[in-house]
Copies of this chain bind each other. A is one copy, B any other.
Amino acid sequence: MRWTKTHLFTLKEAPSDAEIVSHQLLVRGGFIKKVAPGIYTYGNLALRAIRKFEAIVREELDRRGCTEILMPMVQPRELWEETGRWSKMGDGLLKFQNRNGHWHCLGATHEEAVTDYVRSDVKSYRDLPKTIYQIQIKYRDEIRPRFGLMRGREFIMKDAYSFDLDAESALKTYQLMYEAYQAIFDRLGLIYRIVQADAGPIGGSQTHEFQLLAEAGEDALLVSDSSDFAANVEICPAIDAEPQRAGGATPVGATPVGAFSVGGEGATGLSPDENLQPLSPFATPGLKTIADLAKATGLPERELVKTLFFSANEGLDPKDKSLQPIAVLLRGSDEVNLVKLKNLLQLANPPRMLTEEEVRQTAGAGPGSCGPVGLKIPIYMDTGVQGLKNYIVGANQEGFHLRHVNHERDYKPTQIVDLRVAREGDRDPQGPGRLRACRGIEVGHVFYLGTTYSQKMNACYLDREGKARPLEMGCYGIGVSRTVQAAIEQSHDQDGIIWPVALAPFEVHLCALDMGDPGVKSLTEKLEQELEARGVGVLVDDRDERPGVKFKDADLLGFPVRLNIGRKGLEAGVIEVIVRRGRQVRKVKPDEVIPVTEKLLRDLKQSETRSETRRGGGRETL
């Protein structure tokens, strides 16, 4: 394709709202242009990358017997009422009335639509299993769209849905799709990890995320340094690496007398023989934070206990104004994991913290002075607190704390459960190793759903005995547009994008430096035609621009191989062949350019798709 014949304009500066480098490069390279927050037009180059990725996805799914269909983006309310998600999905599901006053939404996901599609056809066990997929535009009304295609409102997604006879067969299908996803992401020439994850509002009991590793990724991951274990921090079990050094609660101002727990697997706490001391309040005027208290008491934050308050209301129904407060106890050094809390409370979305006023109503004192003793609401204690004895908590009286507090004796936790955020250095839950932290961009997600949707939507089949049974389902998503941007986030340098061959909009960037020169012109035409005929996509920069401008743009757009054809080079009998990754320059005779280019592309592709590289070093298995 000729640059001057297409619509392609590069920019020197990225817009101020492009916070991460991949977003900046997409805009500067003319790949995307913003229409509204989270809503973009894809230029020709972005579309080419997307289509290449879609072709890979189709190939791997079709090969495994999946059937492609296309469901509508506009869906009637009635479908979503069947599963209760019309309200449960919250404001991310964009709803509107059409001209006839009927409520519809824009498809944010298609479990309801696909189950409806399948239920009227599938009658018997003989019709199963089936896996159906589509590649389609989705809309989610993100409250704060950002990072370009990474968290957009309108985006392109591949979503697949499987229907099986029973759980055993459904888990086989899950494994098959897991392998399909490995095959897809192995082909991209990018580094990714497969991690355990939260099922979110989709529901379901088994789920893995496919995460492209990148510093700017929105997801914090923890991966084992010695086993296959990898998890999104949202659900990663938190197990202290070292037995806890707990001092018990000593009087304010006194030197803490430490004691070391004996420390079993992940256990924390004091030595079992420490005596429980009598509960007593003490004045802590002006001490509002854990840091204040640690400073005043001389105790480390991890030996103090903090009490947080949340609303267990679903929060989605604006009419439900009643408050259902709960308390969470954590060590002062720990952070509450809202996803763990959400799942514990069986909510669709993470619960909100109570306001200062609501805390006061609930506990009798403000957030700086409250604690579990005397509370009449459910108290969820993080396992990190379990081993502490004689500790300090707020007294539920303004400006006072209690010391020598002990659970069971002074208050009864409703449940002791892992509610804190795991962190780098924590113990690998599946082996003797430690967790290390990295960041990822979620590009794929597989879920085993069970019969959550089929039961609600009465999607059944008759088994061999003629008995109606609900379909066993799974669902499997790939963020198509997001993956294309994530590839850039992982693969770029200071001058621009470095496309892996598998996703490159064009494989070859041909800089024709003197198109006025007949030799340059005819060789350019010849190479363009011959490469295209061999299935190699070529962008010819035939603009009337200085070489420096063309080279800068070539680096920005980042196609794998660049050819510089100029009058001077041709006089010397050479063309420059430059691989974008590393920018090594080869001087090649004109009649060797095609075999050299093809070999370079082959070699690049091969090195990019070595799966031991792709899967982030450690082979991930189910």
Contact = CB atoms under 8 A, between A and B. Distances in A.
> Interface centre among A5, A44, A96, A139, by most B CB within 10 Å?
A96
B7 A118 contact: yes
A104 B6 CA distance: 30
Given A94-B98, A143-B99, A35 B68 contact: no
Contact of A42 (B70, B139, B154): B70
Interface residues of A, number: 54
Contacts of A69: 7, 41-44, 47
B154 A73 contact: yes
A532 B43 CA distance: 34
A76 interface: yes
Nearest to A132: B7
Given A132-B7, A141-B98, A143-B99, A44 B67 contact: yes
Contacts of A9: 121
Contacts of A5: 65, 67
* Copies of this chain: 2
A72 interface: yes
Contacts of A116: 35
Most buried by B among A65, A121, A143, A153: A121
A70 B98 contact: no
A36 interface: yes
A13 to B, nearest CB: 13
A154 B50 CA distance: 23
Interface of A: 5-7, 9, 30, 33, 35-36, 39-44, 46-47, 50, 65, 67-76, 79, 91-92, 94-96, 98-100, 102, 104, 106, 113, 116-118, 120-121, 130, 132, 137, 139, 141, 143, 153-154
Nearest to A75: B35
Contact of A76 (B35, B65, B79): B35
Contacts of A65: 5
7 contacts: A5-B65, A33-B120, A36-B72, A36-B76, A41-B71, A41-B113, A73-B154
Contacts of A153: 74, 98
Given A41-B69, A44-B69, A137-B137, A121 B7 contact: yes
A104 B71 contact: no
A116 B74 CA distance: 25
Contacts of A36: 72, 74-76, 102, 104
Nearest to A93: B99
A44 B67 CA distance: 7
